[in-house]
């Protein structure tokens, strides 16, 4: 899976559940290993240092998400708008990173 495909998978996860309220219900099926997942996030976090919206902001930039796409994501999570400065950061990447589910590889056993 390419980095841009992972970017799209992570961006789509932003629309799975309202965050942070429903974070316990968030599940992101990841078709790569845990090691590759950690490597992806380490790189993304390094690239996003200094961004107000953290890795979510950098991800949107890498995907070419325009202002209307960003506002759609922000409104999904905060339909009533931000109530304090921290609410307006919209960095849900830590929740998405932790919601990864790594499918078990089924092996057929010949007896």
User: For 17-40, how does the pLDDT look when each residue is reduced to its tens digit (9 = 90+)?
Assistant: 999 889 999 999 999 999 999 999
Q: Quote the percentage of the chain above a pLDDT of 90.
A: 69
From 39, 2, 9, select the one nearest 26 (Cα to Cα).
9
- Give the number of other CB atoms < 10 A from CB of residue 37: 17
CA 89, distance to chain mean position in Å, is 14
111: in domain: no
Q: Is residue 109 part of a domain?
A: no
- In the chain the first and final C-alpha atoms are separated, in Å, by 33
On whether residue 106 sits in a domain, the answer given is no
Look at residue 22 and tell me if it is in a domain: yes
The pLDDT value recorded for residue 103 is 86
In a domain, residue 107? The reply is no
Structure confidence at residue 107 as a pLDDT band (50, 70, 90): very low
Say yes or no to pLDDT of 46 above 80.
yes
In a domain, 10, yes or no: yes
Within 8 A by CB and 6+ apart from 101, the residues are 27, 28, 29, 30
Backbone dihedral region of 33: left (phi > 0), alpha (psi from -120 to 50 degrees) or beta? beta
Distance CA 11, CA 56 (A): 8
Number of domains in the chain: 1
């Amino acid at each position: 899976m390419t980095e841009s495909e992972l970017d799209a998978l992570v961006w789509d996860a932003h629309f799975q559940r309202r965050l942070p309220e429903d974070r316990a219900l968030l599940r992101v099926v990841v078709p790569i290993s845990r090691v590759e997942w950690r490597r992806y996030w380490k790189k993304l976090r390094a690239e996003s240092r200094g961004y107000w919206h953290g890795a979510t902001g950098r991800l949107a930039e890498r995907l070419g998400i325009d202002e209307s796409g960003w506002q759609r994501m922000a409104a999904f999570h905060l339909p009533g708008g931000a109530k304090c400065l921290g609410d307006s950061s919209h960095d849900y990447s830590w929740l998405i990173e932790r919601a990864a589910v790594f499918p078990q590889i089924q092996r057929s056993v010949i007896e």
